[in-house]
Amino acid sequence: MSEEIDKTNCIQVFVQDRQGKEHILEGPTDLGLNLMDLCKIHELPMAGTCGGVALCASCQCYVVSGHVLPPKGVEEENMLSEAFHVRQESRLACQIRLNSQIHGLRVIMAPEEEYGE
Protein backbone atom coordinates (compact mmCIF):
# COMPACT_ATOMS: atom_id res chain seq x y z
CA MET A 1 0.00 0.00 0.00
CA SER A 2 1.50 3.34 -0.97
CA GLU A 3 0.83 6.61 0.78
CA GLU A 4 0.49 9.62 -1.42
CA ILE A 5 2.30 12.74 -0.32
CA ASP A 6 0.20 15.88 -0.52
CA LYS A 7 2.36 18.47 -2.26
CA THR A 8 -0.35 21.13 -2.47
CA ASN A 9 1.42 23.28 0.09
CA CYS A 10 4.93 22.49 -1.02
CA ILE A 11 7.38 24.79 -2.78
CA GLN A 12 10.83 24.40 -4.27
CA VAL A 13 13.76 26.73 -3.80
CA PHE A 14 17.29 26.56 -5.14
CA VAL A 15 20.19 27.14 -2.77
CA GLN A 16 23.80 27.32 -3.88
CA ASP A 17 26.19 26.33 -1.11
CA ARG A 18 29.62 27.86 -0.43
CA GLN A 19 31.28 25.31 -2.70
CA GLY A 20 29.09 26.36 -5.62
CA LYS A 21 26.86 23.28 -5.53
CA GLU A 22 23.16 23.89 -6.11
CA HIS A 23 20.60 22.14 -3.94
CA ILE A 24 16.92 21.87 -4.77
CA LEU A 25 15.02 22.08 -1.51
CA GLU A 26 11.35 21.33 -1.07
CA GLY A 27 9.45 22.69 1.86
CA PRO A 28 5.94 23.15 3.21
CA THR A 29 4.27 26.55 3.25
CA ASP A 30 1.86 25.73 6.03
CA LEU A 31 4.21 25.12 8.96
CA GLY A 32 5.47 28.64 9.59
CA LEU A 33 9.00 27.79 8.44
CA ASN A 34 11.55 30.17 6.99
CA LEU A 35 14.35 29.62 4.49
CA MET A 36 16.96 29.19 7.24
CA ASP A 37 14.84 26.43 8.82
CA LEU A 38 14.57 24.72 5.44
CA CYS A 39 18.33 24.86 4.86
CA LYS A 40 18.96 23.35 8.28
CA ILE A 41 16.35 20.64 7.72
CA HIS A 42 18.25 19.72 4.56
CA GLU A 43 21.54 19.81 6.50
CA LEU A 44 23.13 22.66 4.58
CA PRO A 45 25.86 24.40 6.57
CA MET A 46 23.83 27.41 7.64
CA ALA A 47 24.49 28.02 11.31
CA GLY A 48 21.38 29.99 12.25
CA THR A 49 23.17 30.88 15.48
CA CYS A 50 20.55 33.27 16.83
CA GLY A 51 17.68 30.89 16.14
CA GLY A 52 16.12 33.07 13.47
CA VAL A 53 15.65 36.43 15.15
CA ALA A 54 17.88 38.52 12.83
CA LEU A 55 20.71 38.87 15.34
CA CYS A 56 23.63 36.93 13.84
CA ALA A 57 23.71 37.11 10.01
CA SER A 58 24.95 33.51 9.84
CA CYS A 59 22.01 32.87 7.49
CA GLN A 60 22.87 35.65 5.06
CA CYS A 61 22.24 34.78 1.43
CA TYR A 62 22.12 36.56 -1.90
CA VAL A 63 18.81 36.47 -3.75
CA VAL A 64 19.68 35.99 -7.41
CA SER A 65 16.27 35.26 -8.91
CA GLY A 66 13.85 38.00 -9.84
CA HIS A 67 11.52 37.35 -6.93
CA VAL A 68 10.14 40.39 -5.18
CA LEU A 69 10.33 39.68 -1.48
CA PRO A 70 8.65 41.62 1.30
CA PRO A 71 10.84 44.56 2.35
CA LYS A 72 13.39 44.05 5.09
CA GLY A 73 12.25 44.75 8.61
CA VAL A 74 14.17 47.06 10.94
CA GLU A 75 15.98 44.15 12.64
CA GLU A 76 17.08 42.70 9.31
CA GLU A 77 18.27 46.12 8.07
CA ASN A 78 20.21 46.67 11.28
CA MET A 79 21.86 43.26 11.19
CA LEU A 80 22.86 43.57 7.54
CA SER A 81 24.31 47.02 8.20
CA GLU A 82 26.80 45.38 10.58
CA ALA A 83 27.48 42.10 8.76
CA PHE A 84 30.36 41.19 6.46
CA HIS A 85 30.07 40.33 2.76
CA VAL A 86 26.84 42.30 2.37
CA ARG A 87 25.63 43.03 -1.15
CA GLN A 88 22.60 44.82 -2.48
CA GLU A 89 20.83 41.47 -2.91
CA SER A 90 21.64 40.27 0.63
CA ARG A 91 18.84 38.96 2.79
CA LEU A 92 18.67 36.99 6.01
CA ALA A 93 17.25 33.57 5.21
CA CYS A 94 15.56 33.44 8.61
CA GLN A 95 13.44 36.43 7.60
CA ILE A 96 12.19 34.81 4.37
CA ARG A 97 8.96 32.95 5.09
CA LEU A 98 8.19 29.89 3.03
CA ASN A 99 5.12 30.78 1.02
CA SER A 100 3.88 30.35 -2.53
CA GLN A 101 5.38 33.70 -3.60
CA ILE A 102 8.91 32.39 -3.18
CA HIS A 103 8.40 29.19 -5.16
CA GLY A 104 11.41 28.90 -7.48
CA LEU A 105 13.50 31.34 -5.43
CA ARG A 106 17.22 31.08 -6.10
CA VAL A 107 19.76 32.10 -3.47
CA ILE A 108 23.50 31.81 -2.90
CA MET A 109 24.77 31.34 0.64
CA ALA A 110 27.04 34.20 1.68
CA PRO A 111 30.52 33.38 3.01
CA GLU A 112 30.66 32.57 6.69
CA GLU A 113 31.02 35.46 9.06
CA GLU A 114 34.54 35.97 10.35
CA TYR A 115 34.94 37.16 13.87
CA GLY A 116 38.01 38.85 15.31
CA GLU A 117 39.85 37.56 18.34
Applying CB under 6 A, the residues found at the interface with ligand FES are 36, 48-50, 52, 54-59, 79, 92, 94
Smallest distance from the beta carbon of 5 to ligand FES, in angstroms? 28
Give whichever of 10 and 47 is closer to ligand FES, judged by the CB atom: 47
Smallest distance from the beta carbon of 1 to ligand FES, in angstroms? 40
What is the layout of strands, in order, in the sheet containing 106-109? Answer: 22-28, 10-16, 106-109, 60-63, 90-92
107 within 8 A of 69, measured Cβ to Cβ: no
Distance, CA of 79 to CA of 91 (rounded, Å): 10
Give whichever of 8 and 45 is closer to ligand FES, judged by the CB atom: 45
Smallest distance from the beta carbon of 83 to ligand FES, in angstroms? 9
Residues facing 90 on adjacent strands: 62
